[in-house]
Chain A
């Protein structure tokens, strides 16, 4: 089971951090993806992190603005997106590799 943090509202230029707490499986045995979905309904892959060691790979469009981290003691992964823009408004999902379990989604709204 993946349980994400609640909805967020930010102003342009700010940062947001979304958490994803995992349970029901061995946390360090499975990579975690982050995907977002805008109001146009398209799905966009943001990156993937290995909870064992914390190494992450980010989509090219987000390199420099996106950071993924893990806390193995809390079996939680985090996604932080900086320098937010209006077009970052979307629902952000975590998903266990290979996308067979998803979190419920966290709406992030960027508006002045």
Chain B
């Protein structure tokens, strides 16, 4: 079955750029979606189809996807960006949605 690997946690200094990776076999050939989850809330879509920001998501959030790694970047990190971030793809062979294990972003 298809698997996505994310770092358990990422720390970033206030105002700096955080990078969260999502590794998967030939993930560059798939559409990757990113979700942000605040404590006690449901996940919320942030980036879809590799690079598209959902309406209302600031330009500080960007993403890329190539080869075996997709990446979510958060520039000018703010306290409000602290959350868990998940990547997700659709596995057509399963079929089904596959989520990464999630990355806890901490802003120092």
A contact residues vs B (CB 8 Å cutoff) = 33, 35, 41-45, 47-48, 57, 59-60, 93, 95, 98-100, 102-105
Q: How far is the CB of A103 from chain B (nearest CB, A)?
A: 7
Q: Please give me the residue from chain B that is nearest to A97 by CB atom.
A: B97
Whether B97 pairs with A33 at a CB distance below 8 angstroms is yes
Known contacts A93-B43, A99-B33, A99-B97; 12 additional CB pairs below 8 A are A33-B97, A41-B102, A43-B43, A45-B96, A47-B96, A59-B94, A98-B45, A99-B43, A99-B45, A99-B88, A100-B48, A102-B43
Are the CB atoms of A43 and B96 closer together than 8 Å? no
Nearest 3 CB-CB pairings of A with B: A102-B42, A45-B97, A43-B99
Interface check B101, CB cutoff 8 A: yes
The verdict on B13 contacting chain A, using a C-beta distance below 8 Å, is: no
Q: Does B44 belong to the interface (CB within 8 Å)?
A: yes
Are A42 and B33 in contact, with the CB atoms below 8 A? Answer: no
- B: residues with CB less than 8 A from A are 33, 35, 42-45, 48, 54, 84, 86, 88, 94-99, 101-102
- A100 touching B45, Cβ below 8 Å: yes
How many angstroms between the C-alpha atoms of A43 and B22 in the bound complex?
A: 15
By a CB distance below 8 angstroms, the chain A residues around B86 are 43
- C-alpha gap A98/B48 in the complex (Å): 9
Residue of B42, B84, B95, B101 with most partner-chain A CB within 10 A: B42
Report A-chain residues with C-beta under 8 Å of the C-beta of B98: 45
- Select B54's contact among A33, A42, A100, A103, beta carbons within 8 Å: A100
